[in-house]
Every structure is written in structure tokens, then in C-alpha cells.
């Protein structure tokens, strides 16, 4: 007993915020894809964006610019307005890109900018049935 108590003294205090000793705390996130009607619930490590989580789980969410806020292809809609309100406000760059998104809603965000955090556990998002990407769509290299 005394041995266990003294051993716990060596645990770094930051580890107490994690749910396990591997340090990987996760939340549950559900993606509903309007394109094919599929719904998937996955575990997302805290700190990972929902776009990264989608890609890690073969969920069909685009991300043409890989999170550099230069497209709107990672557009998602947060289904629960209360969870949406817990997110940090989108910055100007994100708002500019959202303005270009197909099917923009009051609770739209860019998936690359929504970072998994404990208060977002259980989040449900919808992937709209189409995307719009002026940077990539329509670009067809032509031979000279
Ligand atoms: S991947 Fe381009 S803005 Fe999110």
C-alpha cells in the first residue's frame, strides 16, 4: 500500500487530465455524409481536427488545401447549435472561405478548423452533398 502511494508521486501532474496513461484522450464524433447517406461514429484524439479525423477513418470529407484555409472543401455543418456555440469563433480567413461554401448554414464550419476538445464529445456533423472549390474545380491543364 505504502509502495503504491509513493509510486503515484512520480506521475506527472499533467497526466491526470488524460483518460488513459498513453496520453491519448479521445472524443466521439459522428459524421453524416449527405452524398451517400452514410453515418459513422469515430473516436477522435483531442487536438486533432475533424478533417484529419475524417481522413484517418476513410470518411469522404475533402480537404483540398490540407487545412491551410485556402478552400472550402472541408465544409461541415455542426448539427447541435449548443455545441456549435462552444467552438471558438471562426477567424476572418475561415469566414472568407465559408462564404464560398456550397449550402452554407448558421452552424457551418470548416472541418480543418474544428479541433477536438473534451467539451465537444458526442459532436455530430453533416457533410454537405456538394463542395465548391474555385482553386481546383475547373482547372484543366492544357498542352501548349
Ligand atoms: S482543407 Fe482547405 S480550408 Fe480546410
φ and ψ at 77, to 5 degrees?
-115, 125
Of 59, 63, 115, 125, the residue with max ligand 1 atoms within 8 A of its CB, to mutate for a pocket test, comes to 63
Model confidence at 134, in pLDDT bands (50, 70, 90)? low
Residues with CB under 6 A from ligand 1: 51, 63-67, 69-71, 73-74, 97, 110, 112
Record the cell numbers describing residue 4, joined without a space.
Answer: 503504491
DSSP for 21-52 reads: TT---EEEEEEEETTT--EEEEEEETT-BHHH
Can you give the pTM of this predicted structure?
Answer: 0.78
Q: How far is the CA of 63 from the centre of ligand 1 (A)?
A: 5
Q: How far is the CA of 108 from the centre of ligand 1 (A)?
A: 13
pLDDT of 24 reads 86
Q: What average pLDDT does the segment 125-143 reach?
A: 68
Q: How far is the CA of 111 from the centre of ligand 1 (A)?
A: 7
> Which of 7-16, 49-58, 98-107, 122-131 has the weakest average pLDDT?
7-16
Amino acid at each position: 500500500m505504502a509502495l503504491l502511494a509513493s509510486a503515484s508521486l512520480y506521475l506527472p501532474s499533467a497526466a491526470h487530465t488524460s483518460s488513459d496513461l498513453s496520453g491519448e484522450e479521445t472524443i466521439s464524433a459522428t459524421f453524416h455524409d449527405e452524398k451517400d447517406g452514410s453515418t459513422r461514429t469515430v473516436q477522435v484524439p483531442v487536438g486533432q481536427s475533424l478533417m484529419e479525423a475524417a481522413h484517418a477513418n476513410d470518411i469522404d470529407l475533402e480537404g483540398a488545401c490540407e487545412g491551410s484555409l485556402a478552400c472550402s472543401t472541408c465544409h461541415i455543418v455542426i448539427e447541435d447549435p449548443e455545441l456549435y456555440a462552444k467552438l471558438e469563433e471562426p477567424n476572418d480567413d475561415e469566414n472568407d472561405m465559408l462564404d464560398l461554401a456550397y449550402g452554407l448554414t448558421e452552424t457551418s464550419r470548416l472541418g480543418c478548423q474544428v479541433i477536438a476538445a473534451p467539451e465537444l464529445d458526442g459532436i455530430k456533423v453533416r457533410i454537405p452533398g456538394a463542395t465548391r472549390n474555385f482553386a481546383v474545380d475547373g482547372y484543366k491543364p492544357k498542352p501548349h
